[in-house]
Amino acid sequence: MEDDTEVRLLEQRKLEALKKRIKATTQAPVKKEKTDRELVEGILYDRGDEVLEAAYSFYPTQTEAMVRELAEMIRRGRLTEHVSGGELYSICRQLGLRFRLKTSIRVQDRGKLVDLSEKLSREAEGR
C-alpha cells in the first residue's frame, strides 16, 4: 500500500511539472509598449533625431508635451507619414520653441568633403 501512495505522489509531481512547462511555453510573450519618445523617434528621418535632442536640451518639459501629442496622433492613426528634421523643426518653431541647430556646409575639395569655411581659408591663403 505504501508503494501505491508513493507512485501516486510521484505521478502527481510529474504531472504538475508537465503542466508548468506547458503553461510556460503556451503563454504569449508580453509585448512591451513603446514609450512616447520611442514611438516618435520611429517616424523621424533626415536629422529628425538631432532636432528632437536639441529641443529636449533647450525645452525639456515643452518638448515632452509635444512628443506626447505626436505619439497620441500616431496611435490614433492621424499621423501615418514619416516626419523630417525640417518639418519637426518647423513644428517646434510654430509652438514657440526657438533654438539653434549646429549646421555646417560641406563641399568637395581635392576628393574630400571639407567645411566650406576651411575651403575658403585655403583659397585665401593660396592667393
In this prediction, residue 65 carries a pLDDT of 92
Widest Cα–Cα separation across the chain: 109
Could you state, in chain order, the average pLDDT of each consecutive group of 10 residues for the chain (127 residues)?
76 86 69 82 88 91 92 89 91 89 81 83 76
Q: To 10 degrees, what angle do helices 60-76 and 85-94 make?
A: 120
71: number of CA atoms within 13 Å, CB side? Answer: 16
Residue 8 CA, distance from chain mean position: 54
Domains of the chain, start order: 33-127 (1.10.8)
Q: What is the DSSP letter of 44?
A: E
DSSP string for 97-124: ---------EEEETTEEEEHHHHHHHHH
In this prediction, residue 119 carries a pLDDT of 82
In this prediction, residue 35 carries a pLDDT of 85
Its pTM stands at 0.60
Beta strands in 3-127 (DSSP E): 44-45, 83-84, 106-109, 112-115
Residue 126 CA, distance from chain mean position: 47
Return the exposure string of 24-51: e unless at least 16 CB atoms fall within 10 Å of the residue's CB, then b: eeeeeeeeeeeebbebbbebbeebbebb
In this prediction, residue 80 carries a pLDDT of 86
In this prediction, residue 1 carries a pLDDT of 56
